C-alpha cells in the first residue's frame, strides 16, 4: 500500500477520508480513489444507469457520498478565488506520491495559465457544430491527464469571448479520463472525454463521457456526465472515422485499374494543292 504523504492543503480532508476508507475496508488506495470517481460519475449520469461492475456495499456508498459532498464544498470554495481549480490532480499526486507506481505528475497551474496565455489568439467565428452543442470553437488535448490545460483554456476563452468552447480530452489512462470528466462537469464546461490510445487506436472508445449536455441549450445549474462508447458520438473519434473513410476511398480509387482511353479513328490526310498565286 502507498504511504500517507502528510501534506496539507485544500484537498487534505478529502485525502484523509480516502486513507480512512482504505484502512477500514481493507482496499487499496487505487480502488478507493476510482470508486469515488465512479460514484460521482454515476451520481451525475442523467440516464440513471448503474455503474458497471459496482462492488461496494451500502455503508461504503454512504462514505462515498460524504466524500462527494466534501469535494463539492471544496470546489465551491476554491472557485470563489480561482478561475479554475484541479482538486483531483493535486489529490492524485498526494495519494500516489509514495509506492503506488503511477509516477504521473501534472503541470503546475501557473505554467498551464502561462501556456494558455501564449496560444490563445483571435480565432474568428466558429464554423463547426460540436456534438449537438451548436457551432463552437474546439479546444483539444490528446493526452489530457486531469484536464488542466482544458480547464485553463475554457476559463481564458470564456473571459475573452464570453462564450463556451467545446473541450475534447483524450487519454490512455482510465483514471485520468474519470478525473477529467468530473473536473469538466463541475467547472460547467461543454465537451467530451475519451479513453483510448490516440496514436494506435484513434477511432476506438474504451470508455467515453459526454459532459454537461443537460446545460444546453438552456443554462441550468445541473452538471451531467453521460457515459457512452459509440465512437460516432464524440467529435474526436468521429472526425478520425471520417478521415479514415476518405483515405480508404482514396486508396480504393487509386487501386482500381484505369480504363483505357478509346482509340480515335484517324482519317487519312487529304493531299494539299500548292499554289504559287
Q: Beta-carbon neighbour count of residue 19 at 10 Å? A: 19
Residue range 242-269, pLDDT digits in tens: 777 777 777 787 887 776 666 666 666 6
Q: Give dist(CA 168, CA 142) in Å, integer.
A: 8
Compute the Cα dihedral for 20, 25, 26, 31 and give only its sign.
Answer: negative
pLDDT value, residue 12: 93
- Contact of 39 with 7, CB cutoff 8 Å: no
Q: Report pLDDT digits (tens) over 3-34.
A: 555 556 899 999 999 999 999 999 999 999 99
Higher-confidence position of 161 and 266: 161
What's the mean pLDDT when you consider all of the chain? 87
| Mean pLDDT of the region 61-78 | 97
Q: What is the dihedral of CA 239, 242, 248, 249, to 10 degrees?
A: -150
- 122 has pLDDT over 70: no
Q: What are the residues facing 225 on neighbouring strands?
A: 211
Instruction: Name the packing angle between helices 87-95 and 12-25 (round to 10°).
Output: 50
pLDDT at 219: 84
> Would the pLDDT of 110 be above 90?
no
By CB atoms closer than 10 A (0-12, 13-18, 19+), residue 277 is exposed
* Confidence category of residue 96, pLDDT binned at 50, 70, 90: confident
| H or E segment and range at residue 94 | helix 87-95
Q: What is the CA radius of gyration of the chain?
A: 27
Q: What is the torsion angle, in degrees rounded to the nearest 10, for the CA atoms of residue 74, residue 78, residue 84 and residue 85?
A: -50
HEC string of 246-260 equals: HHHHHHHHHHCCCCC
Q: Is residue 175 helix, strand or coil?
A: helix
Render pLDDT for 170-182 as a digit per residue (tens, 0 to 9): 999 999 999 999 9
pLDDT on residue 213:
94
Distant-in-sequence, close-in-space partners of 116: CB < 8 Å, separation ≥ 6: 149, 152, 153, 155, 156
Grid coordinates belonging to 63: 462514505
Stretch among 182-186, 217-221, 239-243 having the lowest mean pLDDT: 239-243
pTM for this entry: 0.85
Question: Given a cut of 50, is residue 1 above it in pLDDT?
Answer: no
DSSP 8-state assignment for residue 230: -
Question: What is the percent of the chain where pLDDT is above 90?
Answer: 61
Is the bond preceding residue 217 a cis peptide, omega within 30 degrees? yes
Q: What is the pLDDT of residue 93?
A: 86
User: Over the stretch 127-138, which tens digit does the pLDDT of each residue have?
Assistant: 678 888 988 989
**Closest alpha carbon to 92 in 36, 21, 27:** 36
Amino acid at each position: 500500500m502507498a504511504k500517507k504523504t502528510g501534506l496539507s492543503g485544500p484537498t487534505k480532508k478529502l485525502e484523509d477520508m480516502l486513507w480512512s476508507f482504505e484502512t477500514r475496508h481493507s482496499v487499496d488506495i487505487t480502488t478507493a480513489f476510482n470508486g469515488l470517481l465512479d460514484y460521482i460519475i454515476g451520481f451525475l449520469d442523467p440516464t440513471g444507469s448503474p455503474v458497471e461492475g459496482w462492488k461496494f456495499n451500502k455503508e461504503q456508498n454512504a462514505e462515498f457520498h460524504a466524500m462527494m459532498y466534501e469535494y463539492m464544498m471544496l470546489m465551491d470554495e476554491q472557485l470563489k478565488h480561482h478561475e479554475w481549480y484541479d482538486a483531483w490532480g493535486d489529490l492524485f499526486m498526494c495519494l500516489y506520491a509514495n509506492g503506488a507506481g503511477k509516477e504521473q505528475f501534472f503541470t503546475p497551474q501557473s505554467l498551464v495559465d502561462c501556456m494558455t496565455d501564449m496560444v490563445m489568439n483571435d480565432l474568428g467565428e466558429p464554423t463547426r457544430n460540436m456534438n449537438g452543442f451548436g457551432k463552437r470553437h474546439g479546444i483539444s488535448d490528446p493526452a489530457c491527464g486531469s484536464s488542466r490545460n482544458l480547464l485553463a483554456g475554457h476559463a481564458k476563452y470564456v473571459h475573452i469571448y464570453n462564450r463556451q468552447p467545446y473541450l475534447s480530452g483524450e487519454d490512455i489512462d482510465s483514471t485520468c479520463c474519470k478525473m477529467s470528466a468530473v473536473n469538466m462537469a463541475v467547472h460547467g464546461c461543454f465537451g467530451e472525454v475519451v479513453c483510448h490510445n490516440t496514436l494506435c487506436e484513434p477511432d476506438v472508445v474504451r470508455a467515453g463521457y459526454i459532459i454537461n449536455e443537460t446545460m444546453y441549450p438552456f443554462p441550468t445549474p445541473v452538471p451531467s456526465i453521460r457515459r457512452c462508447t459509440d465512437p460516432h458520438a464524440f467529435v474526436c473519434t468521429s472526425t478520425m472515422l471520417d478521415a479514415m473513410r476518405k483515405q480508404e476511398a482514396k486508396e480504393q480509387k487509386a487501386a482500381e485499374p484505369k480504363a483505357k482511353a478509346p482509340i480515335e479513328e484517324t482519317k487519312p490526310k487529304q493531299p494539299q494543292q500548292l499554289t504559287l498565286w
